Amino acid sequence: MTVRPLPVAASAMLLLLLVGCSDDDRDGPPPDAAKPWSDEAPDLVLDVISSPGDQPSFALEPPDLAVEVVAAPGGRLQTVPGPTGAAGAVLFPSVEESTQGRDAVLRVIAPDDSRVLEPGSADFWFGLDLQFPEATSSSDADNGDNLLQRGLFGDTGQLKLQADHGVPSCRVAGESGDVTVKADAALPTGPWFRVRCQRTAGQVTLYVGEVDASGTVEAWRHWTEEGPTGEIDFPDPAPAVSIGGKLNPQGGLVEDAPDQFNGALTHVVYGVR
């Protein structure tokens, strides 16, 4: 068989296509890429800076944000070792404690003019590192594992990351609709995992990867669901941003459905693109 060289014009077109598809010429990786967007320059970062055994304390960016513990009688948070062992993580009430009504949730407080966790129509991502020290379960008193949330299910806008029964999932709701994407299996107890939720026009992608001892993820799994979400805005006053459980619009615990997270977490991030 004789192999004929491509005409000059065709060769030039092929070269243009190859060069034009390089990663350097894109605004970012495609939304269904094998790994999530970089965490560089996020709009919100919450890290645990206390040592294991101490009362939890936090570093927050931007500095005009604050965090407080919202707890029922007997509810408490603890500092435990994080993914690398060098930094801490916050441990939320156990299944047994939550079943007894001893819940505790973190609330992020932002100024009235803050746009944190209010992305509008922009592409955005949010997530955290988490660990289940023991198997999680549901009961009438403890019916979920909320990780990061703003807005309730019936609201026009909602951002939510959860791990009910140990299975990570993400819900994004806006003026054009809502999309929920869910992993296909529960996370095992013991290892640390990094979870990220990404919204672009027309789809939401969930990423999950095990965090190694150096604090990095070598391999990611991801799941994508398509559908419009549209503009995400919240009424004034904006609903509370909760970490580790559910809060009502006034910032208090939802006593009949706290969705208490029964595990440890750290390094909460959120950003827009």
What would you measure as the largest C-alpha separation in the chain, in angstroms? Answer: 83
The CA distance from 213 to 82, in Å, is 10
* 261-270 residue pLDDT tens: 999 999 999 9
The CA distance from 91 to 37, in Å, is 27
In this prediction, residue 19 carries a pLDDT of: 33
Q: Which residue in the block uniquely carries the two structure tokens 């955290």?
A: 128
Q: How far is CA 76 from CA 70, 97, 110, 112, 262, in A?
A: 9, 9, 23, 28, 12
Q: Is the pLDDT of residue 179 over 90?
A: yes
* 16-73 residue pLDDT tens: 333 333 333 334 444 447 899 988 789 999 999 999 989 999 999 998 899 999 999 9
Whether the CA torsion 99, 102, 106, 110 is positive or negative: it is positive
Domain range summary for the chain, segments of one domain joined by +? 42-272
The CA distance from 193 to 210, in Å, is 4
DSSP for 23-38 reads GGGSSS--TT-SSPPP
The region of weakest confidence among 90-94, 208-212, 224-228, 254-258 is 254-258
Find, among 244, 258, 239, the residue nearest to 173 by Cα. Answer: 239
The CA distance from 242 to 256, in Å, is 16
CATH 3.30.1280.10 for domain 42-272: no
Scanning the chain, the segments in alpha helix (DSSP H) are 8-20, 95-99
List Cβ neighbours of 103 (8 Å cut-off, separation of 6 or more): 71, 72, 75, 93, 97, 142, 245, 253, 258, 260
In this prediction, residue 140 carries a pLDDT of: 56
